[in-house]
Amino acid sequence: MEVGVLYSGGKDSTLAALLLEEFYDVTLVTGHFGISDDWKHARETADAIGFAFERLELDPDVAHEAADRIKEDGFPRNGIQQVHQHALEELAATEYDAVADGTRRDDRVPTVSRAQAQSLEDRHGVDYIAPLSGFGRTAVDRLVASRLEVTVGPSEEIDRADYEAELRTLIAETDGSEVIADIFPDHTQTYVTGVHRD
């Protein structure tokens, strides 16, 4: 069975892939809007940790809507949620038997409710799997510590490929980079540089 895992190069989506690799043929799939080349960081990480990689073209209109929403809200949560749902829809419309993401039990965003999951599955004839949704924060932290090599640093210096990178770029282009620090207060990001397999 082929599963496409929505992939950012971060620790959650990497752990999700590790949890599935004994049971599925895993491809890491990074959505991008064509705004920046940040998706290439995810490809580098995928190569480094030995997974197949694909990129998934997303609708730039959704990025613009999400950026507007984020500026209006003054915080990224709802815009990120909007983009994640779009990415899942696009991924579910491809040829994988199953689609997955790195959402965790204790995440505030993105979240995928049971009803949303079932709707995605029914409409696309695909399984939706959230391998980390049964793991709490400390359980995830322990898996990260035992399985992943990570680099931690301020967002602007870390090469991640999550939606945030492109949304930041978009907002900086229209509103200047000085608003970014206000809107995205959580400065620290992590990305994965290697994995330990037993």
| 153 near a copy of itself (CB under 8 A) | no
Q: Residue 104 burial (CB < 10 Å; 0-12/13-18/19+)?
A: buried
Question: Rounded CA gap, 1 and 15, in Å?
Answer: 19
3-class secondary structure, 56:
strand
| 98 near a copy of itself (CB under 8 A) | yes
Q: Which of residues 169-198 bind a copy of itself (CB under 8 A)?
A: 198
Q: Which of 128, 133, 134, 132 is nearest to 3 (CA)?
A: 128
Which structure tokens are listed for 94? 């491809």
Q: Which range binds a copy of itself by CB under 8 A, 32-40, 84-92, 134-142, 161-169?
A: 134-142
| 114 near a copy of itself (CB under 8 A) | yes
Question: Rounded CA gap, 61 and 184, in Å?
Answer: 21
Q: Are strands 2-6 and 98-100 parallel, antiparallel or unpaired?
A: parallel
| 91 near a copy of itself (CB under 8 A) | no
| 150 near a copy of itself (CB under 8 A) | no
Nearest 5°: the CA angle 34, 36, 37 is: 95
3-class secondary structure, 123:
helix
Least CB distance to a copy of itself at residue 4 (A): 14
DSSP 17: H
Least CB distance to a copy of itself at residue 12 (A): 12
| 96 near a copy of itself (CB under 8 A) | no
| 133 near a copy of itself (CB under 8 A) | yes
Of the pair 86, 147, the CB lying nearest a copy of itself is at 147
Contacting residues toward a copy of itself, per CB under 8 A: 1, 18-19, 22-23, 97-98, 103, 105-106, 114, 117-118, 121, 127-136, 138-139, 142-143, 146-147, 198
